[in-house]
A and B are shown apart, each in its own frame.
Chain A
Amino acid sequence: MTKMNKDGFCNGQDHWHGFGLPGRPAPRGASRRDFLYAGFAGGLGLTLGGLLKHESAQAAQKHYETKEGQAKSVIHIFLPGGCAHQETWDPKPYAPIEYRGPLGTVKTNVDGQVFSQNLRRTATIADKLCVIRSMTHGEAAHERGTHNMFTGYRPSPAISFPSYGSVVSHEFGPRKSMPQYVCIPNQPNEYAGSGYLSSMYGPFSLGSDPASGGFKVRDLTLPGGISVERFEKRRSILATVDEHFRKLEKSDNLDAMDAFYQRAYAMISSKHAREAFNVAAEPEAMKNRYGKNQAGMRMLMARRLVEAGVRMVTMTYGGWDMHQRIRDSINRQVPSFDQAFHALITDLDQRGLLKSTLVMVSSEFGRTPKINKDDGRDHWPKVFSVVLAGGGIKGGAFYGTSDATASEPDLNPVTVQDLAQTVYNRMGIVGDKELMAPGDRPMEIVDGGKPISDVLA
């Protein structure tokens, strides 16, 4: 099924279209493949040639074997709204006050590097982090910036791209009966979905916030009054009822539904899987260490899920669109992030999971260099910061710099594609591999960019 980008926006024109391949000669005549690249979304669903057509299209796909890399799991902590890099990872204490902003700094345990003052606990583990201070892209609208950071692609009016999590689900099977890709608390935006891939690779959403009282993941446990035995009986009756239809009918969406039922059974019947979602089972001390708040409980849940076998956890925390009174908003949100993030990294480390878990903190963009008339900062995609840790990423690395006023990348700019290549590389996925989009249109997982070799451990 062809899925279109809902917004259908088209603000720029260097999204890709043409009869030729990027970086390759334009076609002489028209080869099928070139044409597929040209964005023909499958118009005629094809007939008997369909199967063969599909096979030959596959033969033309760039293929690489995906093998588990150093990062077995990824925790993506997304700060929606556009987190000010100046008030977090990239303060400019020597800039004029209107650029510097209202906050001071704190020394990290890496020589010569400072964070903004609220990140005081995180500053003590900077040697485990890789801080990229030269992230850059050109999208100053929330949804477009978000699209970049979730898919590694610039938005296209013609194609809906899969998110990191969906690509990971596509490339790896489930581990220990756990869904591959989980969102805390919900799928945060439309770009965090399966894009052109089958909905089978979409995220499993918890459905409620681990920080809320009485938090429970919906529908994981059998309803009251239904014992395991009775559920088994129900399943066997269901098998009887389904048999008639199964014998008669065949279709892709029936298969997908079947697959989800099988996965649901596996989760319901696995104590391990159900327990993974039971964040309440954590000792009180552990909850206090992370903080009994949105940041703390979500990160604690993320750690539980990764430990249980989830490959990609995507969580959001707070709201960072601070157009006004940035000091108050930062002071309100950063301390609990600081506590939780510090707890997450040290906890993963103590459990021996940091080596195999890549943690990424990102936002759709940074904020304007100058404080505005409302004591806030506005959208700024030209330069901002992303933090990586664990999962085969060097610790204590400060990669790239922004200029003196945090306005532009100064050294080693990192593109959206570079970041995606880096994350996929650590997971063992080759970014150049092509997946099949509708209309038998092969699409690279990441179009261009290179893994940042300097930060790979």
Chain B
Amino acid sequence: MTTKQTFIAALALFLVIAVTVVANARTLVDVKVFPPDIDLTTQRDRQSVVVQAVFDDGVTQDVTMQANYSFADPKLVKLDGYTIHPVADGQTQLKVEYAGRAVMLPVKVKDATKDRPISFKLDVMPVFMKAGCNAGSCHGAARGKDGFMLSLFGYDPDGDYNRIVRELAGRRINLSLPEQSLLLEKGVGKVNHTGGELFKEGGELYNETLRWIKAGAPRDANDIAKPVGIDVTPTRIVLEGENSTQRLTVRARYSDGTTRDVSHLAAYITSNATSADIDEAGVITAHQRGEAFVMARFDTFTVGAQVIVIPKGLKYDWPNPPANNYIDELAYAKLKKLRITPSDLCDDQTFMRRAYIDIAGTLPTREEFDRFMNDKSPDKRTKLVDELLDRKEFAEIWVMKFAELLQIRSDGNRRMSYKATLLYYNWLQERIANNVPMNQIVQELLGSTGGTFTNPATNYYQVETQTLKVAENVAQVFMGMRIQCAQCHNHPFDRWTMDDYYSFAAFFSQVGRKRAEDPREQVIYNRGGGEVNHPIGNRVMAPKFLGGDAPETRGKDRRQILAQWLASPENPFFARNLSNIVWAHFFGQGIIEPVDDVRVSNPPSNPELLDELAKRFTDYNYDFKKLVRDICTSRTYQLATRPNPSNELDSRNFAKQSIRRMRAEVLLDAISQATGTKNKFRGLPLGARAVQIADGNVSTYFLTTFGRATRETVCSCEVVMEPNLSQALHLLNGPTVNAKITQGGVVAKLLAEKNTPQQIIETLYVRTLGRTPTQQETEKLAPLTKETDPAKLKENLEDLFWALMNSKEFIFNH
């Protein structure tokens, strides 16, 4: 090696090192301290703090241990590690310093020398949750466990008190020898306990319970403060490198305005311990690259934080793809955090077919294909989206989708006559076709009164007549939530309590139904009376919005009040849910998936994106055409399905498009369109499209086999997209493809028009796959065209036509 070469090599090495160093060098952009203020009331109160450093590349670091703490008035408080205890009443400030930055926090101390009396609900109930005593597998089971029952996750504290103190008096609580109470001895595993040792003798959980028993196991006063919410911080965590950690702090807010550090009482769970595990103390530890949602549960509240784990020193270059609109910007922001590179933009042919199927439910015709491919304008994709949005087929797709959500289905005159079904469908169709804003449609629907023939919107209350089920359906369809669990107990994985459930159901307790003159028609009216009672204690539940206020309903139709709130910006779930449903249609999955299972423990993969979509949708006055336009013109929608090494295993962050089987109706319409044939469905003229079928009860072998929704339930799982053996057999041998090829006579016509076999092949490709054959395909298929016998030639070309419609490229939208 010459000197020069050595020099160059050294230089190269130096450059590599330099680049690596640059890649790892990051700038601190923010220091955050949680919680935002310190509020200590009574001598037992305390508050731990967490300090988080945020760097310019999105990585965060727990610097609680490295930070310096000082108080303007150090006499008021005592700092023990990173926990602040009260000493004397007054107000001061906490200064947290890290890497030259300082953050000031207000500190308030009240009743520093007073003890707070022990409380069953505030101090003992949390022990059962933290230790797992009231979990469904243990004493929280409906019939309890081993003779002792607690309410599941504490939905009935008064009942729990009675079971502990009053049931089998003296067995569970020993007031004279509190340490020998069975409750404690079982908990620490001193006596035989199926659940083993759940807390340590002398530990905080033990001591609090003991203190309560020593105090005489008192029942709480009726006006005891109730938790009204919890805050879990920090909420955005990006950990770099294995074993890096981040501690959470959980603060509960109470109805009397006080707060309490419940970090030690919260139960912690993670969605993915392989990437981010969390221990009993709320410390997250990073492991494998990936993403997790960690949650803290306290009382009836579950709140989570998003954690992203990336490997240390990962070389990652953001390719800086252009952003067409806000959707791309927000999708990219998440991908950058994950260090994922999006796939390339798909080509024009792929885009065209995808947009046709998704927006209009049809395939492009040969003419449309040629026109688009020959269009050289740079904004031709946007133009195409606009064109498709104005077609009536666009509205028809959404009429079909909403007809599924509204369960438009006749049931042989049991409740829904065919006539009512048709009227209901036509009502919906007329609304959507005229682009009536979604909030208005939903308000009309939920607040409707009158005959099911004269005001078809009232059929909503005819499809389902049970009060509780109506409430569940409304929550699932219009808010995306499954509240069914809360019928019997507080929702184990969401915020909904039984109170929420029954107060929401109370909006539907006064729906009256009576026969109209025509026996097939019902009249839906407001009875003005009728209540929903809570199964525990039989309380009458006043109507209350899910996650909202209790409105004044006296003398009014409760449903109208609900409808006004539900389909309005007041309801944070409405726009989000509809945006998510629309999004899912174009990506094969929602930002929350499944779309009708919104809950704390099933968070959106990209909350910022979903929030922005919801905001825009609201700003657009609930015109979802505009939302669809945003989605389809985004680069994110137009990405190729082909993965790259960085997004290969990702399925939730829209770094590539997904491959989706065409749904039953669209596939049948596509086959009919490609073959130039017509179908006849009950109640529709010859040549109508399957998408237009009004009644969920009308089907064909093809549609049933390919999973058309029966509309028997509101579940998004009604539409079955999974393949099965009967589908394969039917496409191969069944009459749909085979007979339609002959019936439509497409090949015969093309031959008669004197097209060359080569031209015909091209046309068949375009008709089905929306692309021209590749060079390689043309060569491989050439022998088919060599046939001189015209009948044989036609047969060959029809066989190709058959093969094209059996190809996965045809069956799937990609």
Contact = CB atoms under 8 A, between A and B. Distances in A.
22 contacts: A4-B715, A13-B152, A17-B137, A19-B135, A25-B198, A28-B280, A32-B277, A39-B493, A42-B271, A43-B271, A46-B650, A218-B730, A222-B733, A223-B734, A234-B802, A237-B802, A238-B807, A240-B780, A240-B803, A251-B658, A264-B725, A264-B732
Contacts of B280: 28-30
Most B CB contacts (10 A, CB to CB) among A1, A226, A249 go to: A249
A213 interface: no
B299 to A, nearest CB: 15
Interface string B645-669: 0100111110000111100000000
B90 interface: no
Interface stretch (A51-59, A65-73, A396-404): A51-59
A47 B650 contact: yes
A257 B811 contact: yes
Contacts of A335: none
A50 B278 contact: no
A49 B272 contact: yes
Contacts of A15: 136
Contact of B142 (A14, A24, A44, A219): A14
B597 interface: yes
A267 interface: yes
Closest 3 CB pairs of A and B: A26-B132, A49-B290, A32-B273
Given A49-B272, A261-B728, A8 B482 contact: yes
Interface stretch (A80-88, A198-206, A278-286, A288-296): A198-206
Contacts of A49: 272, 274-275, 287-291, 309
Contacts of A9: 484
B715 A8 contact: yes
A94 interface: no
Interface in B691-745: 701, 712-713, 715, 717-718, 720-730, 732-735, 738-739
A218 B272 CA distance: 45
Interface in B108-160: 131-133, 135-138, 140-143, 152
A267 B726 CA distance: 11
Contacts of B800: 237, 241
Contact of B137 (A16, A44, A198): A16
Contacts of B195: 20, 25-26
Interface in B462-498: 472, 476, 482, 484-485, 487-489, 492-493
B256 interface: no
B728 A48 contact: no
Interface in A416-439: none
B52 interface: no
Interface in A185-209: 198-199, 202, 204-205, 207
B774 interface: yes
Contacts of B794: none
Contacts of A220: 729, 733
B730 A30 contact: no
B804 interface: yes
B269 interface: yes
B269 A35 contact: yes
A11 B136 CA distance: 15
A104 B381 CA distance: 78
Contacts of B338: 47
A6 B715 contact: yes
B340 A258 contact: no
Given A32-B277, A241-B809, 14 more contacts: A2-B594, A8-B472, A8-B713, A17-B137, A19-B269, A29-B278, A44-B605, A47-B291, A47-B650, A53-B290, A202-B724, A241-B803, A253-B722, A254-B812
B642 interface: yes
Contacts of B807: 238, 241-242, 245
A260 B725 contact: yes
Contact of B291 (A1, A37, A44, A257): A44
A22 B278 CA distance: 22
A248 B774 CA distance: 13
B602 A32 contact: no
Most B CB contacts (10 A, CB to CB) among A9, A14, A250, A267 go to: A14
A35 B489 contact: no
B493 A4 contact: no
Given A10-B488, A38-B269, A47-B650, A56 B274 contact: yes
A18 interface: yes
Given A43-B602, A157-B485, A234-B802, A4 B291 contact: no
Contact of A45 (B652, B721, B806): B652
Contacts of A204: 724-726
B320 to A, nearest CB: 21
Contact of B136 (A16, A157, A253): A16
B97 to A, nearest CB: 32
Contact of A6 (B717, B735, B780): B717
Most A CB contacts (10 A, CB to CB) among B476, B601, B717, B804 go to: B717
A142 interface: no
B303 to A, nearest CB: 14
A4 B659 contact: no
A40 interface: yes
Nearest to B198: A26
A7 interface: yes
Contact of A242 (B152, B715, B774, B809): B809
Contacts of A35: 269-271, 273
A14 B735 CA distance: 49
A2 B596 CA distance: 11
Given A16-B136, A267-B729, A48 B799 contact: no
Interface string A242-275: 1011101111011011101101110110000000
Nearest to B659: A251
Given A12-B142, A52-B274, A257-B661, A43 B601 contact: yes
B28 interface: no
B642 A248 contact: yes
Contacts of A245: 807-809, 814
Nearest to B197: A25
A112 interface: no
Contacts of B726: 204-205, 207, 218-219
A125 interface: no
Contacts of A23: 137, 194
Contacts of B733: 219-223, 268
Interface string B281-323: 1000001111111000000000000000100000000000000
A260 B726 CA distance: 8
B316 to A, nearest CB: 12
Contact of B290 (A17, A46, A251, A257): A46
Contact of B722 (A202, A244, A267): A202
Given A27-B132, A44-B291, A218-B730, A7 B713 contact: yes
A345 B660 CA distance: 46
A233 interface: yes
Contact of A218 (B133, B291, B729, B811): B729
Interface in A223-240: 223, 226, 230, 233-234, 237-238, 240
A442 interface: no
A92 to B, nearest CB: 30
B722 A53 contact: no
B77 to A, nearest CB: 29
A245 B198 CA distance: 56
A38 B492 contact: yes
A260 B705 CA distance: 13
Contacts of A7: 713
Contacts of A43: 271, 293, 601-603
A198 B730 CA distance: 20
Contacts of A218: 701, 726, 729-730, 734
A251 B195 CA distance: 43
Interface in B772-809: 774, 776-777, 780-781, 784, 795, 799-800, 802-804, 806-809
A261 B803 CA distance: 13
